Amino acid sequence: MKLTTKGRYAVTAMLDLTIHSGSGPVSLADISERQGISLSYLEQLFSRLRRNELVTSVRGPGGGYRLSRSGEGIFVAQVVDAVNESLDTTRCEHKGDCQNGEMCLTHHLWADLGEQIHQFLSRISLAELGSKPEILAVAERQDRRQRDSAVITDDKHRASAL
């Protein structure tokens, strides 16, 4: 199985949103900075997430995105599905034409594996994932780096104004 960048980035961004949602709407610029995902790519992903009613947007100053419901009610598989990411583990995209136009010996094995992975991801909520100590430690490190970067930028602006 190969989960592409689109699915990985969508899950990462939604997990970031879950972790930071307690302080109001979260801007895509902040997610972009913390996660190292391009802003334009995030805009594309969040457009799909919004269409699939996983997030809502808040306009105006202090705007950004919020989860459309609690993190307990949003599961990793829903995020992956929302960005049209396939968890197909077959070589033939479930068409059954994997060996010269016919089904190969292991087609059902790989199709079943893809279904198992989807079921596994369907049981993991964003809230559950976002409450794991090892994930919270990474989020704290990212937040610290973002704060430190903002302080350095402010110091440079003040110095150039003098």
Model confidence pLDDT, tens digit, residues 83-115: 976 677 777 777 888 788 888 899 899 889 888
**Annotation: CATH topology of 5-90+106-161:** Arc Repressor Mutant, subunit A (1.10.10)
pLDDT at 100: 82
What are 31's two structure tokens? 């997610």
Domain boundaries, the chain: 5-90+106-161
CB 14 within 8 A of CB 3: no
pLDDT at 154: 59
pTM: 0.84
Strands 64-67 and 55-58, how do they pair? Answer: antiparallel
Residue 12 reports pLDDT greater than 80 = yes
Coil/strand/helix, residue 105 = coil
More confident residue, 129 or 155: 129
